[in-house]
Each structure stands twice: as C-alpha cells, then as structure tokens.
Amino acid sequence: MNTVVVARQSVARVWPGALICVTVALAATFLSEHYGGPQLLYALLMGLSLHFLHANPQITKGVEFCGRTVLRIGVALLGARITSRQVTQLGWETGAFIVAAVVSTILCGILLARLLGRRHEEGVLSGGAVAICGASAAMAISAVLPQSRENERLTLLNVVGVTVFSTVAMVAYPVLLRAMELSPTQSGIFLGGTIHDVAQVVAAGMIVGPEAADTATIVKLFRVLLLMPVVMAIAMVIRARTPAAGVARVKTPLVPAFLVAFVALVIAASVGALPRPAVTAAVDASRWLLVVAIAAAGVKTSFEDLLQLGWRPVVMLLIESVFIAAFVLVAILAGSVRL
C-alpha cells in the first residue's frame, strides 16, 4: 500500500509540469504536420516562450522529469530502428570511414573549444551533436555530462544550432550534389554522413532520388548506432575524472541504463524478436518523447541565458558542420567510400 501511495505522490508532483511539456509537443507536432518545418525547433521555441512557468515549484518537478527521464527513454527507443543487417550492408570500408568521420568531428569540436577558450565539455557536446544525430545526440550526451546550469544552456543552444543547420543542409546539399553530378549512391553516402537529423536525411535523399534516399538512410542509421559507444565513452571518462568518494560518482554509472536498453533493442530488432508494428510504435514513441524532452529543455531555459553564451558556440557548430561535410566529400571524390 505504501508503494501505491508513493507512486501517487510522485505522479502528483510530476503531472503539472509534464502536462505543459506534452501540450507544447502536441502544438509543435500540429504546426509541423500542417505547415511544414522542423518539429523539434517548434517545440524548443514554444518551450522557451513558456520559461516564466519554470519559476513555479509545482511546474519544476514535471519539467525536470521530462528533461531527463523522458529523454533517456526516447534515446533508448532509437535502438529499435537499427538492425545488424543494415550495418553489414555498409561494408567494412564505408563503416570504418563513417567511424573516422564521427571521431574526427568530435575531436574537431574539442580542438575548437580549446582554441576559443571554451570548456572541454562544450567541444564534446557540439562535436557529438554534429557528428552523430543532431538534437538527439546533444540530449543524450548532455544526459551523462555533469549537471549544471551552464551545460543545460549549452545543450539547448546546440539543439537549436544543429536543427537550423540540418534544415539548411536538407535544402542546400541536394542542389550541391546535382551541380557536382555525383551518382545516387555517392549522393546518399554524403547526405547520410553529414546531415544531422534522420528525418531530414530521408527528405534530402528523396529530393535526389529513391536510390539516394535508401543509401542515405542506411548510412545515417549507422551513425545513430555510434551514439551508444560515444556516450558510453564520455560517461566512462567523466566517471574516471570524478572523485572516488562523492555523490557525483554515484550519479554517473559506468554504463547508463538507457544505453543498455538501446543496445538491447538493437539486438532484438536484429534477431527479428520485434514485429514490424512494435518497431514502428517504438520509432514513433522515440520521436514523440524526444519532442517532449526538448520542449522541457526550452521551458527550463530563458533567452537571456542563451544570449550570455555569446557567438563562440555558434561558430563551433558551423565549423564542425563544414568539417564533416568536407571530410565526407573528399573521401567520396577520392573513391575511398562506396557501397
């Protein structure tokens, strides 16, 4: 009976803030479906406009719940859309190249952070967001970084930045690829290896053609798969740098539970344990939960907080985006990458 009482009390504390985040997510989804545009960006901007509600203690608990627990569930469910068959379709050469592109972009972010006098965590966050899967990666990496007001602001700015850059790339890259007269396969590798968000990768691929869209999707899903080892490596580094005796170490497990769930779903999808309706439901739920989590991130942050970060984080995202695009394009033109 005590368990039931505790559960009811937890729900009572969480539901007002969670309801606001869900409402924002619904509104963002409606706008995206009826008027076009990035769903995540709508959720973020509407969340920012409701920041004044975060001062209410009745709202705070639910917003924090959506920003952490709901986020982690959404990231874990991403694993349901990836199978070993999709990964093996790449071939070891292309797979190794994509790994190199991801690692190089993260290292580029760390180097830029040092050159611009920013913190190491900022370079990891922005580099990982650009290298892997945009807003989802930014939120997942943020979940294992030391929790601070500064990191929350940086996460939000990275979500805004990668969403905007990804939208621009979705429109601009197909035009560039046609001007360069690349083959559909080469175009698909470029799109899947450079654009941040999965949905925008598919959209850009369809602009080029069905073959390019299929190739781009396979390459992009492999990049999403790399989210697990990258976030795990970051969590291990942070854990190693945390004092042996302290509460912070307990809060940073060696392998976060949501990454274990991510891997379990990848394995389940690979062996055919998940029926197609279950995979579709997991993918849709993942997208929806990430929209709710980003709405929560917006509610927690004010425009003033973002402005205090200055121009350097934006420059970092821009340079990292150009870096990964150049890295992939040079490899394609050199004939180093093919499916």
pLDDT in tens, the chain (339 residues): 566 655 576 777 888 899 999 999 999 999 988 887 778 778 878 988 888 888 788 888 898 888 878 878 887 887 887 788 877 877 788 888 899 999 999 999 999 999 988 888 889 999 999 998 887 888 888 888 877 777 777 887 888 788 778 878 888 899 899 899 888 889 999 999 999 877 778 778 878 887 888 788 888 888 888 888 898 888 888 777 665 444 444 454 556 677 788 888 888 988 888 888 998 999 889 888 888 988 887 787 766 666 665 678 888 999 999 999 999 999 988 876 665
How much is the pLDDT for 2? Answer: 63
Residue 218 domain-assigned (yes or no): yes
Orientation of helix 276-300 relative to helix 39-49, angle to 10°? 30
- The four Cα atoms 234, 42, 324, 211 give a dihedral, to 10 degrees, of 120
Whether 339 is in a domain gets the answer: no
In a domain, 25, yes or no: yes
Q: What are phi and psi of 279, to 5 degrees?
A: -65, -45
Torsion of CA 311, 194, 37, 127, to 10 degrees: -30
Q: Which two tokens stand for residue 223?
A: 């990049």
Predicted pLDDT of residue 248: 44
User: Taking the alpha carbons of 37, 38, 44, 47 in that order, is the dihedral positive or negative?
Assistant: positive
Range of the domain at 197: 2-333
Q: Is the pTM of this model over 0.85?
A: no
Residue 338 belongs to some domain of the structure: no
Q: What is the DSSP letter of 40?
A: H
The C-alpha atoms of residue 322 and residue 326 are separated, in whole angstroms, by 6
> Rounded to an integer, what distance in angstroms lies between the CA atom of residue 266 and that of residue 225?
9
Total count of domains within the chain: 1
Assign residue 85 a region (left: φ > 0; alpha: ψ between -120 and 50; beta: otherwise).
alpha
Residue 44 belongs to a domain: yes
Domain-embedded: residue 276 = yes
Over its C-alpha atoms, the chain yields an Rg (Å, rounded) of: 20
